[in-house]
Structure 1
């Protein structure tokens, strides 16, 4: 645990008692604060009370009197589509609103660091797609290279649940837009921006607000090094705003598909090869084509971002390459879960929007595509140009019939359930084909989250193959 600094004897309110909220409460108490805790969910309150915490109803009038600041869990809206009533009251009363990420950055460094040979460092990763894989890949590469490392944020542990830093340790954080938009302190040593595509637009009031939330990671504290994906206009804008010209190697530009030669520092992948260029010349190259844990151009972009971040931390190309090759991938993200008779079964349940599904569809040839769920605004019509590699679609969930109307003449079958979709796709697939779960939709019509959806896919594949269910993690 990382005790929160500067709160001794102060009254601090915590709204939301999920994973990050409970970790925040513990860290505040460890820092000597009086913590006032509340969650709108009776189940969450009961869980916190079982841990020994007392509840304070922050929704009642006067509950925030004397409170130094309010800490809000990331899933609770503070601006759009409308602020939670407790947050609205805090802002009306001038009570500062923060989150656990802000508390982490103001509490991570301690006097113990004075005795370290090498100061700990923080790498923070944000973006729309690929940030979980990039975060886990950076952690894996550092671990394989023998560097002390911890991982937290939107993946793994809550940030305040981390252990106090060791000499020379690197903390790798995945940060969502919900986390970056509200943190009052954002001071990573290395900041990574993977890419941007429409998501969470109701929460951010549109695409501009969404990008602004991501951009705060680079504009608030000014990282020593910025690794920025430049395959979209927002990334190019961010790189331009962050650097002092093309030769400024504090910005490492990253691309999947575009050759970047005219910059101080760049890492890009083309035709399956990663190349690092510095000051107008190539200094390293890695063949990514046979790395099973990183299939497709989208994962090659993730590899470039992780490579650049690790290079900025002082690792050499060869030790980074070793980490790339031993990376097994993350559950539910282009995860190979079975193979029979030349047919591969791939779980990409995390492909919950059109952009991430597009990346999955471009990673494989001859696809038996399982898609559907709770469709998002706009449906999947934008995927039509990418369906040339799809042999047939097997549609499930609430939006199955809507999706069927949006895929043109592509052969398809309304399966409704995962069990039927996997059984039908497996029965019809031939050697060289891939049965791919890439839903392009949320899971909430049939599952509590994308992880449970992916686990069901894996269980159905195991049943078809006559094998024990694979381990999702």
Structure 2
């Protein structure tokens, strides 16, 4: 645990008692603050009280008269589409609103660091797609290089559940827009921006607000190095804002669309080959085509971003390349779960929006595509140019028929995962890929994309007779 610093003796309200909220309350107490907790869910309050935490209704009149700060869990809106009533009350009372990420950056450095030979560092990764894989890959490379490291944030542990940093340690954080938009302190040493595509638009009041939430990671604290995917105009703009000139190598530009040139620092992938250029000269190259855990151009983008971040930490290209080949990938992200009778079964349940599904489709050919679910704002037009490798779609979800009508490929309305997998398995031929890439949220049928992916894997196992664990 990382005890919260700077709030000793203060009453601090904590709204939301899920993983991050409970961790924040514990860390506040460990640092000498007095957490005052609330969650509308009575079971969540009971769990907190069982740990000895104090709960009080933060909606009550005068609740914020003695409060120094309000800590809000990521899923609770503070501005759009409308502030949560507790957040509104705090704002009206003039109480600063923060989250666990802000507390982490406020508290990470300690006086113990004065005796360290190598200062601990933080690598923070954000973006629309690929941030989990990029974060996990950076962490894997560091482990392979035998560097002390921890992984947290939107993946794995809560940030305040981390252990205090040791000499030379690197903490890798995956940060969502919900986390970056509110944190009062954001001071990573290396910040990574993978890409940007429409997502969470209601929460951020459109693309401008969504990009602004991501941009805060780079604008608030000024990282020593910024790794920026420049294949969208927002990334290109962000790189330009951060750079002092063409040769400024504090900004590492990343692309999978084109070769990058110039006197600065670039990492790009073309036709499966990663190249690093610095000051106009090639500094490294890796053949990604044989890296089983990173299939497709979207994973090559993740590889480029992770490579750039690790190079900025001083790791050699050959060390990074060796680590790539031992990376197994993440569950529910282009995850091969079986290969039977010449048919490959791939779980990409994390492809919850159109852009991520399009990238998954681009990674394979001869696709039996299982898709559908809770459609996100913006429709499915972005899939129109990505379905050339699809032989047939098998559509799930409560609105499967309406979803299927928007597709430009042969589509069968299946409704449930059980039916979709059975039909895809029955029709698949050697050389085909049965791919779950929903292009939609899961909440019409599942409580998370993980549960959806697990159901897919279980149904495949039952149909083709392989072990599922």
Q: Structure 2: how far apart are the matches of 1:92 and 1:206?
A: 25
The corresponding residue for 2:451 is 452
* Per-residue Cα deviation, 1:251-296 (whole angstroms, up to 9, x for no partner): 0000012100214100000000000000001111000011111000
| 1:331 and 2:331 matched | yes
Say which SS state the counterpart of residue 269 (structure 2) adopts. strand
| 1:271 and 2:271 matched | yes
Q: Structure 2: how far apart are the matches of 1:263 and 1:213?
A: 30
Kept after mapping to 2: 8 A contact 1:379/1:403: no
Q: Structure 2: how far apart are the matches of 1:379 and 1:347?
A: 22
Aligned positions of 1:53-452 closer than 5 A: 53-408=53-408, 410-452=409-451
Q: Structure 1: how far apart are the matches of 2:263 and 2:201?
A: 33
Q: Structure 2: how far apart are the matches of 1:151 and 1:267?
A: 24
TM-score for both structures, normalised by structure 2: 0.99
Q: Structure 2: how far apart are the matches of 1:377 and 1:261?
A: 36
Say which SS state the counterpart of residue 146 (structure 2) adopts. coil
Q: Structure 2: how far apart are the matches of 1:270 and 1:257?
A: 7
- CA apart distance, 1:347: 0.1
- CA apart distance, 1:468: 2.2
* Per-residue Cα deviation, 1:111-138 (whole angstroms, up to 9, x for no partner): 1111111000000000000000000000
Q: Structure 1: how far apart are the matches of 2:263 and 2:30?
A: 47
Task: Identify which range, 275-284 or 370-379, moves more after superposition.
Answer: 370-379
- CA apart distance, 1:60: 0.3
- CA apart distance, 1:43: 2.2
* Per-residue Cα deviation, 1:347-375 (whole angstroms, up to 9, x for no partner): 00000110110000000011000001111
Kept after mapping to 1: 8 A contact 2:338/2:466: no
Task: Identify which range, 48-57 or 248-257, moves more after superposition.
Answer: 48-57
Q: Structure 2: how far apart are the matches of 1:378 and 1:122?
A: 35
- CA apart distance, 1:13: 0.6
The corresponding residue for 2:18 is 18
Kept after mapping to 2: 8 A contact 1:257/1:271: no
Kept after mapping to 1: 8 A contact 2:247/2:279: yes
Runs of 4+ in structure 1 deviating by more than 4 angstroms, as ranges, are none
- CA apart distance, 1:95: 0.5
- CA apart distance, 1:377: 2.2
Say which SS state the counterpart of residue 420 (structure 1) adopts. helix
Kept after mapping to 2: 8 A contact 1:87/1:97: yes
Q: Structure 1: how far apart are the matches of 2:80 and 2:132?
A: 25
Kept after mapping to 1: 8 A contact 2:367/2:391: yes
Say which SS state the counterpart of residue 171 (structure 1) adopts. strand
Task: Identify which range, 131-140 or 256-265, moves more after superposition.
Answer: 256-265
Q: Structure 2: how far apart are the matches of 1:273 and 1:263?
A: 21
Q: Structure 2: how far apart are the matches of 1:138 and 1:40?
A: 37
Kept after mapping to 2: 8 A contact 1:122/1:170: yes
- CA apart distance, 1:51: 2.3
Kept after mapping to 1: 8 A contact 2:275/2:286: yes
Kept after mapping to 2: 8 A contact 1:191/1:217: yes
Q: Structure 1: how far apart are the matches of 2:399 and 2:267?
A: 39
Kept after mapping to 1: 8 A contact 2:120/2:166: yes
Q: Structure 2: how far apart are the matches of 1:48 and 1:118?
A: 38
Q: Structure 1: how far apart are the matches of 2:72 and 2:33?
A: 16
Q: Structure 2: how far apart are the matches of 1:119 and 1:175?
A: 22
Q: Structure 2: how far apart are the matches of 1:69 and 1:52?
A: 20
* Per-residue Cα deviation, 1:97-155 (whole angstroms, up to 9, x for no partner): 11110010010000111111100000000000000000000000000110000000000
Kept after mapping to 1: 8 A contact 2:35/2:53: no
- CA apart distance, 1:407: 1.4
Q: Structure 1: how far apart are the matches of 2:464 and 2:379?
A: 32
- CA apart distance, 1:420: 1.2
Q: Structure 2: how far apart are the matches of 1:450 and 1:50?
A: 30
* Per-residue Cα deviation, 1:229-251 (whole angstroms, up to 9, x for no partner): 00000000000000101110000
Say which SS state the counterpart of residue 439 (structure 1) adopts. coil
How many pairs are equivalent? 469
Q: Structure 2: how far apart are the matches of 1:263 and 1:25?
A: 48
| 1:469 and 2:451 matched | no
